[in-house]
Amino acid sequence: MTMARTLYSQKIEGDNVARGKANELPISPKHAIEIAGFIKGKTTTEAISYLEQVIEKKKAIPFRTFTRNVAHKRGLPGWDAGRYPKKASESYIKLLESVNKNAEYVGLDTSNLLIIHASANRGRGHRGIFPRAMGRATPKRRETVNIEIVVREVV
């Protein structure tokens, strides 16, 4: 993760607020956007434990926006389509732990942190090439994602 070089998309201020941001992570934008929509409104401990189960392929992330050719998964309440985005879940767990540390540094109780804002958007694309036969090459673009999370301590 790199240090934040951009501003947050929402101005959320207060004494009981902590935030974290990660720029240009090499993960799928679609997976990151679906996870952001799913963890918003949960506590950080709930989100981390659920994402750890996603990595173990015990629970799935419901895909509500990017549903084309997404198979049904068992155990999704009120929804059918879902996947197990392992790489994106690991990045989110790392960022949520960073947000917990930021909240602890500010003086908040880390067991009562509610995710009030979570967003993911496409970052800068890195250029690359696919080497082909007979000395040719095809261009490719590696996608990156910017993620931001804001939490508030609830009493």
CATH number at residue 21: 3.90.470.10
Residue 134 lies in a domain: yes
Residue 52 lies in a domain: yes
pTM: 0.90
What is residue 7's predicted lDDT score, i.e. its pLDDT? 82
Residue 29 lies in a domain: yes
Residue 2 lies in a domain: no
pLDDT tens string 48-60 = 999 999 999 999 9
Residues 115/39, Cβ–Cβ less than 8 Å = yes
Please count the structural domains in the chain.
1
Structural domain for 105, as ranges: 17-153
- In a 13 Å sphere around the CA of 29, the CA atoms on its Cβ side amount to 13
pLDDT tens string 62-76 = 999 999 999 999 989
pLDDT tens string 27-41 = 999 999 999 999 999
Residue 11 lies in a domain: no
Q: Reply yes or no on whether the pLDDT at 2 is more than 70.
A: no
Residue 38 lies in a domain: yes
